[in-house]
A and B are shown apart, each in its own frame.
Chain A
């Protein structure tokens, strides 16, 4: 099934943008006779020969009078294959905010280049803004090919030049089409004048473009928008959480976690608009979800899955585009932020740099951002945000800022991630207790043979915890032997000292609010019991996780070639071969390779972490 396609265009009259859109609409039979009549009348009044198709898109009086496009205009047309929405925006730098607006929901960006002029500053700027706003597909229309004799050589020159520039951007999909909007070559029908071009005409490309995979169907997210409680006889106990799914899939029976409370419950029913019972709800659907437990949930809360949560923090780094003509962005100023269905006050802690959107150079120490300027900022919000990075999810990674005095929308923002450089917190001994810290630490002790899969699982646990906003750090036995334990060998005594040192480091980290993930063979039961006792004494949670991978399997993997060397007698005291491994008697968790891959095993661990 084809899907509604949202197109963003940017450019000025000089590029022939309006002519191109006019041509698409006209040849695509989307301009109606009375509209064409009105344009013909207006064109004649201005002394033009034929209909000026730009008059079709320039809707406001000031635009027609000045012959420029000021604001985003939305145009609609459909072919038998697909429905299209064009957000048509002006190309000049003083209308950057309009371009950003049009680009925010687009699936594909059309960028026009005049074949005679090649890649100009404006084309580069448009391409940059398209990628900044995360438009997945970029199409370069090399226009006015009729004026360069339909030259393949010229087309290739431009293509090479643009590709070199695009390599600096995050472009996911880039296509070049040689066209002539004036004559219609390669706009709706393939051009006879350019037999060397084997690709589709622009309209054909747009009709076939696959965009279904651009959505995030992995990370289940639903910001609660509105709570529906009919309080009528037929639906006396009905309590539905209405919202638009912002990522992933929700099904009845799914376990969900509600943020910020962190309570978990189960989806009992998923309803479409008007009470259509659904088997599942996916990204983009407006639904109402019923949950098993009566929890205190209100607008602004976020539903997600226990093992896949958005980042929750009050400190975020973001790119923002300033959109207000009267005010400028000021450090330490306070704004209202709209993010998903949440609003919160936010203050700008730091303007890290302003980006020159023509050269892409960073202007450090910029004092402020004015209209149409883009920069990177560090923000602190009053309430925690539950977000994903914009590049992963446009719905949960975007926000706008509102000036509290005028109520105007003054900036649009794209979240990069949690703040990289939070200010150092200075504390005196005893002033801060564990309860005061933003996160609670613990130690996860992964024990098992060399090659049992400890490291892979540890890496996956760390990645997921950090993504969920929980600081975590891997203490890997091999790595620690390069530094902290570089003086130790593999005798039972040295192994005991090795475990003791790692225990102390893990305990300190956990006390500081970090989840310490120890990945250590630690073959002796007594050493591990000592590690647990050290944690128990400080009331720090400790989970012993046994990677129960049989020796044959670990040896067959032999990722580091150590088993072979041990068998050949090159390594002494190698656990499992010529040194003992004492398996835990009562591990807190037991993981086997047959339970799944590293990701699955990490999920099991994290579930357990959440219960601790």
Chain B
């Protein structure tokens, strides 16, 4: 075969992400990678490991723990961090609640996604992180579609969408003063389907929740929620058995699942390729709050 010197789409996305990891490691002091055990953060960690081979990943990972996680995901998190030989920093939302830094919304089982911002900012400050890698993708949400790969946060951790640094070619400006930080998104140009194609190609392990399995669920706001210690059937809600899988994994109180028979990586790729609803639209109750829900949370310092 003649060499055409053309990279596949996945190779191109991989090269771009690897470039970004190396750029941060070379130019910004004390980076950290946000790791939740969700598929995007798992792919991110996999890419980071490839970027620095044969050396170990030269930064720690941080988990913003809402305290309302799926047990399988926490086990997966600990197993993965150990396999890569990394240091895990946990910034706990419960700590912030206990210390009175944030108030719970809607009682002890209320959603804690919004509360994560305080813990995230505290984690960054306490560890003096100059850059934090996040797994956000521009295809997820319309405010994220406008965000830079290197996204500057002021000393209050805030994003100013109207005053973003121009970002051209592959020249990234990560300069900041003490107390400010950068959020860096190596997966900016990936879509959900790219992520799954890559998971398949690289045979990346994920929590089992991503694959079809039997669960007791209730239907709420046109979404399916797993009945567990965080979600109890409400008045008029009838629990039933279903074969489901999760398209995203976040706080267990607000992450829904979808009916699916996709039990393998191949089957999920086929399902995602045919999907007609975005992953956040299908399974995230928190984003549906308002037209600018994500933009408002990001301005406050959210991922």
Question: Across the interface, do A341 and B18 meet the contact criterion of CB distance under 8 Å?
Answer: no
Q: A35-B278, A409-B167 are in contact. Are A73 and B19 (CB under 8 A)?
A: no
Chain B residues contacting A85 (CB-CB under 8 Å) are 189
Chain B residues contacting A285 (CB-CB under 8 Å) are 7, 11, 15
Q: A225-B23, A226-B26 are in contact. Are A395 and B170 (CB under 8 A)?
A: yes
| Residue in A3, A70, A78, A286 whose CB lies within 8 Å of B14 | A286
Q: List 30 A-B contacts (CB under 8 A).
A: A4-B12, A32-B275, A32-B276, A32-B277, A32-B281, A59-B143, A61-B295, A70-B162, A71-B146, A71-B162, A71-B164, A73-B142, A76-B139, A97-B166, A101-B167, A105-B168, A105-B169, A217-B5, A225-B26, A226-B23, A226-B26, A228-B55, A230-B56, A231-B55, A242-B52, A273-B14, A273-B18, A341-B26, A400-B171, A409-B166
* Assembled-state Cα–Cα distance A225/B146 (Å): 27
Question: Across the interface, do A59 and B170 meet the contact criterion of CB distance under 8 Å?
Answer: no
Cβ of B291 within 8 Å of any chain A Cβ, yes or no, is: yes
Chain B 1-38 per-residue mask, 1 if CB under 8 angstroms from chain A, else 0: 00111111101101110110011011000000000000
* Assembled-state Cα–Cα distance A225/B170 (Å): 12
Taking the closest CB of chain B, its distance from the CB of A6, in whole angstroms, is: 9
Question: Across the interface, do B175 and A402 meet the contact criterion of CB distance under 8 Å?
Answer: yes
Question: Across the interface, do B15 and A286 meet the contact criterion of CB distance under 8 Å?
Answer: yes
* Assembled-state Cα–Cα distance A58/B295 (Å): 12
Taking the closest CB of chain A, its distance from the CB of B278, in whole angstroms, is: 5
Q: When A and B form their complex, what is the total count of cross-chain residue pairs whose Cβ atoms lie within 8 Å? A: 189
* Assembled-state Cα–Cα distance A38/B278 (Å): 12
Chain A 484-515 per-residue mask, 1 if CB under 8 angstroms from chain B, else 0: 00000000000000000000000000000000
Chain B 46-69 per-residue mask, 1 if CB under 8 angstroms from chain A, else 0: 010111111110000000000000
Give the interface of A toward B (CB within 8 A): 1, 3-4, 32-35, 37-38, 42, 56, 58-62, 64, 70-76, 78, 83, 85, 97-98, 100-101, 104-105, 212, 215, 217, 225-226, 228-232, 234-235, 238, 240, 242-244, 249, 271, 273-275, 280, 282-286, 288, 299, 323, 336, 338-339, 341, 394-395, 398-400, 402, 407-409, 412
Chain B residues contacting A402 (CB-CB under 8 Å) are 173, 175
Cβ of B165 within 8 Å of any chain A Cβ, yes or no, is: yes
| Residue in A33, A336, A412 whose CB lies within 8 Å of B277 | A33
Chain A residues contacting B145 (CB-CB under 8 Å) are 59, 73-75
Question: Across the interface, do B168 and A407 meet the contact criterion of CB distance under 8 Å?
Answer: no
Question: Across the interface, do A284 and B15 meet the contact criterion of CB distance under 8 Å?
Answer: yes
Residue of A with least CB distance to B3:
A280
Cβ of B228 within 8 Å of any chain A Cβ, yes or no, is: no
Chain B 140-165 per-residue mask, 1 if CB under 8 angstroms from chain A, else 0: 01111110000000000000011011
* Assembled-state Cα–Cα distance A288/B21 (Å): 14
* Assembled-state Cα–Cα distance A280/B15 (Å): 15
Residue of A with least CB distance to B26:
A226
Taking the closest CB of chain B, its distance from the CB of A238, in whole angstroms, is: 6
Cβ of B215 within 8 Å of any chain A Cβ, yes or no, is: no
Question: Across the interface, do B177 and A73 meet the contact criterion of CB distance under 8 Å?
Answer: no
Chain A residues contacting B191 (CB-CB under 8 Å) are 76, 78
Chain B residues contacting A286 (CB-CB under 8 Å) are 14-16, 18-19, 22, 51
Chain B residues contacting A98 (CB-CB under 8 Å) are 166
Interface size of B as a range: 35 or more
Taking the closest CB of chain A, its distance from the CB of B2, in whole angstroms, is: 12
* Assembled-state Cα–Cα distance A336/B173 (Å): 11
Question: Across the interface, do B26 and A212 meet the contact criterion of CB distance under 8 Å?
Answer: no
Give the residues from 258 to 303 in chain B that come closer than 8 angstroms, CB to CB, to chain A: 275-278, 281-282, 291-292, 295-296
| Residue in B9, B12, B165, B278 whose CB lies within 8 Å of A408 | B165
Residue of A with least CB distance to B150:
A409
Question: Across the interface, do B4 and A1 meet the contact criterion of CB distance under 8 Å?
Answer: yes
Chain A residues contacting B4 (CB-CB under 8 Å) are 1, 212
Instruction: Give the most central of A59, A215, A240, A339: most B CB within 10 Å.
Output: A59
Chain B residues contacting A273 (CB-CB under 8 Å) are 14-15, 18, 47, 50-51, 53
Residue of A with least CB distance to B188:
A74
Chain B residues contacting A217 (CB-CB under 8 Å) are 5
Question: Across the interface, do B9 and A230 meet the contact criterion of CB distance under 8 Å?
Answer: no
Chain A residues contacting B49 (CB-CB under 8 Å) are 274
| Residue in A34, A75, A274 whose CB lies within 8 Å of B281 | A34
Chain A residues contacting B51 (CB-CB under 8 Å) are 242, 273, 286
**Extra 9 A-B pairs, beta carbons < 8 Å, given A42-B291, A286-B15:** A35-B278, A76-B189, A212-B6, A230-B54, A234-B54, A235-B54, A273-B50, A275-B54, A407-B177
Chain A residues contacting B11 (CB-CB under 8 Å) are 285
Q: A32-B276, A283-B5 are in contact. Are A398 and B143 (CB under 8 A)?
A: no
In the complex, the 7 A-B pairs of residues with the closest C-beta atoms, listed nearest first: A34-B281, A59-B142, A274-B50, A273-B50, A104-B168, A286-B18, A230-B55
Q: A32-B281, A212-B6, A249-B5 are in contact. Are A101 and B146 (CB under 8 A)?
A: no
Cβ of B227 within 8 Å of any chain A Cβ, yes or no, is: no
* Assembled-state Cα–Cα distance A64/B139 (Å): 18
Question: Across the interface, do B278 and A34 meet the contact criterion of CB distance under 8 Å?
Answer: yes
Chain A residues contacting B292 (CB-CB under 8 Å) are 60-61, 64
Taking the closest CB of chain A, its distance from the CB of B204, in whole angstroms, is: 12
Cβ of B138 within 8 Å of any chain A Cβ, yes or no, is: yes
Question: Across the interface, do A274 and B176 meet the contact criterion of CB distance under 8 Å?
Answer: no
Taking the closest CB of chain A, its distance from the CB of B138, in whole angstroms, is: 5
Question: Across the interface, do B281 and A35 meet the contact criterion of CB distance under 8 Å?
Answer: yes
Question: Across the interface, do A412 and B291 meet the contact criterion of CB distance under 8 Å?
Answer: no
Chain B residues contacting A70 (CB-CB under 8 Å) are 162
Chain A residues contacting B166 (CB-CB under 8 Å) are 97-98, 100-101, 323, 400, 409, 412
Cβ of B193 within 8 Å of any chain A Cβ, yes or no, is: yes
Chain B 87-130 per-residue mask, 1 if CB under 8 angstroms from chain A, else 0: 00000000000000000000000000000000000000000000
Taking the closest CB of chain A, its distance from the CB of B7, in whole angstroms, is: 6
Question: Across the interface, do B168 and A412 meet the contact criterion of CB distance under 8 Å?
Answer: yes
Question: Across the interface, do B168 and A400 meet the contact criterion of CB distance under 8 Å?
Answer: yes
Chain B residues contacting A283 (CB-CB under 8 Å) are 5
* Assembled-state Cα–Cα distance A226/B53 (Å): 12
Chain B residues contacting A242 (CB-CB under 8 Å) are 22, 51-52
Give the residues from 170 to 199 in chain B that come closer than 8 angstroms, CB to CB, to chain A: 170-171, 173, 175-177, 188-189, 191, 193-194
Chain B residues contacting A244 (CB-CB under 8 Å) are 15, 18-19, 170
Chain B residues contacting A409 (CB-CB under 8 Å) are 165-167, 173
Chain B residues contacting A339 (CB-CB under 8 Å) are 171
Chain A residues contacting B6 (CB-CB under 8 Å) are 1, 3, 212
Residue of B with least CB distance to A72:
B146
* Assembled-state Cα–Cα distance A3/B15 (Å): 14
Chain B residues contacting A212 (CB-CB under 8 Å) are 4-6
Taking the closest CB of chain B, its distance from the CB of A67, in whole angstroms, is: 14
Chain B residues contacting A280 (CB-CB under 8 Å) are 3
